[in-house]
A = this chain, B = another copy of it.
Amino acid sequence: MNRINVVKIGGNVIDNPEALERFAHDFAALPSPKILIHGGGKLATRLGEQLHIPAQMIDGRRVTDADTLDVVTMVYAGLLNKRIVALLQREGCNALGLSGADGDVIRAVRRKSEPIDFGFVGDIDASKINTVLLRTLLDSGVTPVFCAITHDGNGSLLNSNADSVASAVAVAASAIAPTSLIFCFEKAGVLRNVEDEGSVIGEIRPDNYATLRAEGAINKGMIPKIDNAFAAIDAGVQSVIIKHSDSLLQESGTTVKK
């Protein structure tokens, strides 16, 4: 099989209908095989507010109780996933939306309730991806579109982190064909100076990463993302690219590689 492109988009694209249409157009033009993973955006928070299901945060992280799980399932697996699939179909991309429960494609483990009970939150790893089904879909010319709802195999849906789903899916896809993982966000890449879109760091390798960190050239919030990128590469992904969602088809952004 040809190189697999695994692309992740976040709330900044999803919350903006024009940006989402532009992205769908570009994504459809990206060579196949390919896989899309989408985050949630602000719609779930807004729906929760309308339904008087207030967001509960602990240490800055959202708690997913049973009512919140219903809200995120409706928004992520229902509204957003199907909207994105319909847009991609319009663009001629044969998208097929999936939660982790569908075809048992991503089984997660509910996070322990100690020390903090985050509720129906599921952690995943690449060994829990149904690679056989993934290969069948890709072989059929289908483009899987994942939301970050997973399941425990015991009847419960779980809320997972979309970046983690993207990394795990990319690692699993690496067993099928060489795989690139592309994180699209609202900046042109990893910036030396967050105020300057022109200051993109073109390449991060283990040898310059230490230096960049020591110089303070990488924003603190980026460090866990880059650590995760290196973890995905260690697990078999060929390269991880961090770039703006408007320049999916351009050579641009920051490439993390060994």
Interface residues of A (CB under 8 A from B): 47, 50-51, 70, 73-79, 81-83, 85-87, 89-90, 94-99, 101-104, 132-133, 136, 140, 142, 149, 151, 153-157
Contact = CB atoms under 8 A, between A and B. Distances in A.
Nearest to A149: B82
A103 B144 CA distance: 9
A47 B67 CA distance: 13
7 closest residue pairs by CB, A with B = A78-B78, A74-B74, A90-B155, A96-B103, A74-B78, A96-B102, A86-B101
Contacts of A104: 89, 94
A82 B73 contact: yes
Contacts of A89: 101, 104, 151, 153, 155
A118 to B, nearest CB: 19
Nearest to A69: B79
Contacts of A97: 99, 101-102
A229 to B, nearest CB: 30
A77 B86 contact: no
Contact of A102 (B47, B78, B95, B154): B95
21 contacts: A50-B50, A70-B79, A74-B79, A75-B78, A77-B77, A77-B78, A78-B78, A78-B79, A78-B82, A82-B149, A82-B157, A86-B151, A86-B155, A86-B157, A87-B155, A90-B153, A94-B104, A95-B102, A97-B102, A133-B140, A136-B136
Nearest to A155: B90
Contact of A103 (B70, B142, B149, B155): B142
Contacts of A87: 155
A33 to B, nearest CB: 14
A83 B149 CA distance: 11
A102 B94 CA distance: 8
A82, A90, A104: most-surrounded residue (chain B CB, <10 A): A82
A160 to B, nearest CB: 13
Given A90-B155, A155-B87, A82 B101 contact: yes
A99 B103 CA distance: 14
A156 B90 CA distance: 9
A155 B82 CA distance: 10
A94 B75 CA distance: 23
A85 B105 CA distance: 12
A149 B102 CA distance: 17
Nearest to A72: B78
